[in-house]
Amino acid sequence: MAHNPKKELIRQKRRVRGGVRVPHYKNTADCATVELPVPGQVTIAMQQHIGRPCIPCVKKGDRVLVGDRVGDCTDGMCVPVHTGVSGQVTGITELLLPNGQSCQAVQIEADGQQTVSDAVCPPVVENREMFLQAVKDAGLVGLGGAGFPAYIKLNPGKPVDTLVVNAAECEPYITCDNREILENAQDIMRGVYAIRRYTDVQQVIFVVESNKPAAIRTLCDIAADSADTDNSVRVMRVASRYPRGAEKLTIYAATGRKVPPGGLPADVGCIVMNVTSVGTLGRYLQTGMPLVAKRLTVDGSAVQCPMNVRVPIGTAIKDVIAFAGGYAQEPGKLLMGGPMMGIALPDDTLPVLKQNNAILALNKQDAESPAFSACIRCGRCIKACPMGLQPVTVETDLRAENIGRLQKDGVQSCMECGCCAYVCPARRPLVQSMRLAKQALRR
Amino acid sequence: MHQLIVSAGPHLHVADSTRGIMLDVILALLPAGAAAVALFGWRSLLVMAVCVAAAVLSEYISRKIMRRDTTIGDLSAVVTGLLLAYNLPVTIPLWMAALGSAISIIVVKQLFGGLGQNFVNPALIGRIVLMMSFTAAMSQWTLPLAQQTVDAVTSATPLAIAKAGDSAQMPELMELFLGRHAGSLGETCALALLLGGVYLCIRRVITPLVPVVFVCTTGLLTFLAGYNPLEQILSGGLLLGAIFMATDYATTPINWKGKLIFAVGCGAITAFIRIFSSLPEGVSFSIIIMNIVTPHIDRLTIGKPFGSRKPERQAQ
């Protein structure tokens, strides 16, 4: 029997230029999330968001319970961090994050009891200020990968009318947003209604890529079943094409509004949140349990059993891989995130961060960086660039150290999605050129 | 401890390569080569072989002398050699063919930095140099074998016939389409060239934009000047140039706006040369001229980033 969605889908009307067709590799789309057994030790980084790092508020020897705050906010843009295990603090160390920043980290030896802290109770939210405070107390950051503090996102200081819930999940391999929708749709809706109630948001649009039919069906059903009387919550199916989940492109697909170069979603009246962020918010409002664990997709050619697994934040990556059966082959590359924008890690002892959504281990063969050759000016990078830039021109101007031209090339609009380098038949490292060009402009 | 590679993204890559693209172009050129052998006999194969061999050898030796990596593996020299051969008459002395290839590769391509750096089409410059140096040998237009008679081995090309206004001599359109008329090796058989063009479009090596606009512009302008546009399109090197040379990556504009300007320019210059100058054919010169202005077209047609608005641009 054909499924008859109760909620009508919105079809994508506008086609964004550029993007590339990447292989999906959504091997784990049907793998229900499993819980990682409590790891022996966690290392909780104090910098898991964009902004200023937290200050550890525990010291060596302290006993902590699940949900306890271990990193407190300083002034400015900052989000507190909590522990997902109960146990004893064994020390405060210095940690080099994958992006090259270094920060303090709290090491906790887990006792395996997972005793929940008394501090964990559903927050009382009556007005906008209390809501924003709750979002901050939840330790919520943008879980799509950027880690932008959610409480600032929800309070942009500009009039907004639309919440775009980003469930595009356009990176290959990653299926954790898909699982969030299938497993926690009620939490997502609770988050959506809270946001609609305490901000100026009037319409909510879920953007999902067409390669997740089950997620689309679930969202349609749940949106129809819930208290959405004025049909302000809608679901949009977009063609699967990387990088459809990029913020500006998602807004354009959902609303037709174009965020200007250097602008933020609020400039066009939008808030964009990852679907897992919204779900986490909904869960926090219900249970009071802050963001202490994260669902990860563990996959890649060097992993024994690809899976979706929920792990306490701070778990060492090697523990997660070991749970997934360990390495099937000698790993050549370890990625935090997807294969297009993920960061290659120097070793597997690094801890999981809030904004992580995947760990990919590629075998030696997949890990090999292709040798590059001369640019043949085929222009494929231009066709692929979703931001309308000309990576080949940027590369030429960079080599000529022509700063004036680099400025005109619009380098600052580059989001380093990697489409240009992905399609380049000469395998030129165009993303690096873009980064170097941005650096050259900053000087 | 595992040995992990740390590199910037993306960590995935398409399978296409420069060599693959060149191989596609070579495949697309094969029908025209087969047609040349069928029309002009086995010597055309010899000319192609000499041109390709000379091109590859020149590339190999010049790279060695300049102490650079060997690049013959990317097959671009094969493409240049083939294209030059298609622009030569079947009777060309083989040493001239080899010389043309050497000039194309060494002077036009390698001296300017190799693949992707040449600013004009190497094969076309090779052809023009030969044309200027050995005009007699280069304008000996043999008829296809099937059409040769005891007292007519060579003939004027259809374009020269059209220029002379001698409509009685003009081959039928079908003959033009199948290539059964005098001309360069690879330029006569429109059918074979179109097959190659369709293949390149299907393989997404080129888009139809430049060939279609180029051909239509020439057809339209010659029609306005009183010529039969179909005869003009099917004769001379228009299809060979439009499909295989005006779409060369290195020497033509890089985005579609630039390509459009380029194609219109090529078409117009070709038509003007055919209509007004004393030369019967102008495809080579039109493409060369537009090659030279390509960097300027590229600069003028650079796109605006996503979300740019007009008033903001002016404010900056």
Same-domain status, A241 and A349: no
Same-domain status, A388 and A328: no
Same-domain status, A95 and A166: no
Q: Which residue of B has its CA nearest to A264?
A: B307
Distance from CA of B239 to the nearest CA of A (A): 21
Residue of A278, A142, A270, A131 lying closest to A198 (CA atoms)? A131
User: What pLDDT is stored for residue A232 in this prediction?
Assistant: 83
User: What pLDDT is stored for residue A231 in this prediction?
Assistant: 75
pLDDT tens for residues B208-262? 999 999 999 999 999 999 999 999 999 889 999 999 999 999 999 999 999 999 9
Domain assignment of residue A2, yes or no:
no
Length of chain B: 316
Domain assignment of residue A419, yes or no:
yes
A378, A381, A413, A417, best to mutate vs chain B, most B CBs in 10 Å? A378
B191 vs B31: CA distance, rounded Å: 9
User: What pLDDT is stored for residue A258 in this prediction?
Assistant: 92
User: What pLDDT is stored for residue A1 in this prediction?
Assistant: 34
pLDDT tens for residues A186-243? 999 999 999 999 998 999 999 999 999 999 999 888 887 766 667 788 899 998 898 9
Same-domain status, A276 and A388: no
Same-domain status, A297 and A235: no
Please report how the helices B76-86 and B122-133 are oriented relative to each other, as an axis angle in degrees rounded to 10.
40
DSSP assigned state of B111: G
Please judge whether A341 and B4 are an interchain contact, meaning their C-beta atoms are less than 8 angstroms apart.
no
Same-domain status, A179 and A267: yes
Domain assignment of residue A216, yes or no:
yes
Residue of B313, B282, B284, B289 lying closest to B123 (CA atoms)? B284
Would you list the DSSP string of A157-218? SS---EEEEEE---SSS--HHHHHHHHHHHHHHHHHHHHHHHSS--EEEEEEETT-HHHHHH
Q: Which residue of A has its CA nearest to B118?
A: A376
DSSP assigned state of B180: -
Q: Which residue of A has its CA nearest to B116?
A: A376
User: What pLDDT is stored for residue B312 in this prediction?
Assistant: 46
User: What pLDDT is stored for residue A226 in this prediction?
Assistant: 65
Instruction: Kindly list the residues from chain B whose CB atom is less than 8 angstroms away from the CB atom of residue A362.
Output: 11
**Which residues, numbered 122 to 151 in chain A, qualify as contacts with chain B under a Cβ-Cβ cut-off of 8 Å?**
none
| CATH code (residue A82) | 2.40.50
Distance from CA of A151 to the nearest CA of B (A): 26
Residue of A171, A211, A209, A177 lying closest to A339 (CA atoms)? A171
Q: Which amino acid is at A85?
A: V
Residue A69: strand pairing partners: A82
**Which residues, numbered 386 to 425 in chain A, qualify as contacts with chain B under a Cβ-Cβ cut-off of 8 Å?**
386-390, 392-393, 408-410, 413, 416, 418-419, 421-423, 425
Report the complex ipTM.
Answer: 0.90
Instruction: Kindly list the residues from chain A whose CB atom is less than 8 angstroms away from the CB atom of residue B73.
Output: none
Where are any strands of DSSP class E within B120-184? none
Residue A120: CB atoms within 10 Å? 17
The distance of Cα B250 from the centroid of its chain, to the nearest Å, equals 12
Domain assignment of residue A36, yes or no:
no
Return the CATH class of domain B18-300.
mainly alpha
Instruction: Kindly list the residues from chain B whose CB atom is less than 8 angstroms away from the CB atom of residue A379.
Output: 249, 254-255
Same-domain status, A392 and A410: yes
Q: In terms of residue numbers, what domain contains A153? A: 9-30+122-287
Which residue numbers of B have CB closer than 8 Å to A's CBs?
1-14, 16-18, 20-21, 71, 74, 76, 114-117, 249-250, 254-255, 298, 302-309, 312
Same-domain status, A129 and A274: yes
Cβ atoms of B144 and B39 within 8 Å: the answer is yes
Same-domain status, A197 and A129: yes
As for how many domains chain A has, the answer is 4
Same-domain status, A144 and A268: yes
Distance from CA of A134 to the nearest CA of B (A): 34
Distance from CA of B277 to the nearest CA of A (A): 33
Please judge whether B307 and A376 are an interchain contact, meaning their C-beta atoms are less than 8 angstroms apart.
no
User: What pLDDT is stored for residue A288 in this prediction?
Assistant: 92
Domain assignment of residue A94, yes or no:
yes
Provide the H-helix boundaries in A67-114: none
From A252, A287, A322, the end of a domain falls on: A287
Q: Which residue of B has its CA nearest to A252?
A: B307
Cβ atoms of A274 and A245 within 8 Å: the answer is no
Residue from the list A252, A261, A334 with its beta carbon closest to the beta carbon of B305: A261
> pLDDT means per 10 residues in chain B (316 residues)?
85 92 97 95 96 97 94 94 96 96 96 93 95 91 83 81 80 88 91 97 95 97 93 92 96 95 97 89 93 95 84 44
Q: What is the CA radius of gyration of chain B?
A: 21
Instruction: Kindly list the residues from chain A whose CB atom is less than 8 angstroms away from the CB atom of residue B254.
Output: 377, 379, 382, 390, 392-393
User: What pLDDT is stored for residue A229 in this prediction?
Assistant: 65
Please judge whether B11 and A367 are an interchain contact, meaning their C-beta atoms are less than 8 angstroms apart.
yes
Helix (H) or strand (E) holding A63: strand A63-64
From A110, A140, A169, the end of a domain falls on: A110
Q: Which amino acid is at B260?
A: L
User: What pLDDT is stored for residue A427 in this prediction?
Assistant: 93
Question: Mean pLDDT in chain B?
Answer: 91
From A313, A335, A367, the end of a domain falls on: A367
Domain assignment of residue A207, yes or no:
yes
> pLDDT means per 10 residues in chain A (443 residues)?
54 75 92 93 92 91 93 87 94 89 92 89 91 93 87 90 93 94 92 91 92 91 73 87 90 91 92 94 94 94 94 94 93 93 91 93 88 92 93 93 89 93 94 94 87
Residue ranges covered by each domain of chain B: 18-300
User: What pLDDT is stored for residue A15 in this prediction?
Assistant: 66
B176 vs B173: CA distance, rounded Å: 5
Same-domain status, A406 and A422: yes
Domain assignment of residue A393, yes or no:
yes
Same-domain status, A148 and A259: yes
Domain assignment of residue A4, yes or no:
no
B4, B71, B297, B312, best to mutate vs chain A, most A CBs in 10 Å? B4
User: What pLDDT is stored for residue B249 in this prediction?
Assistant: 94
User: What pLDDT is stored for residue A100 in this prediction?
Assistant: 83
Residue A234: strand pairing partners: A205
Which residue's structure tokens are 């004893």? A88
Distances (CA, A) of A436 to A194, A426, A441: 42, 19, 9
Please judge whether B10 and A431 are an interchain contact, meaning their C-beta atoms are less than 8 angstroms apart.
yes
User: What pLDDT is stored for residue B315 in this prediction?
Assistant: 42
Q: Which residue of A has its CA nearest to B205?
A: A378
This prediction has a pTM of 0.91
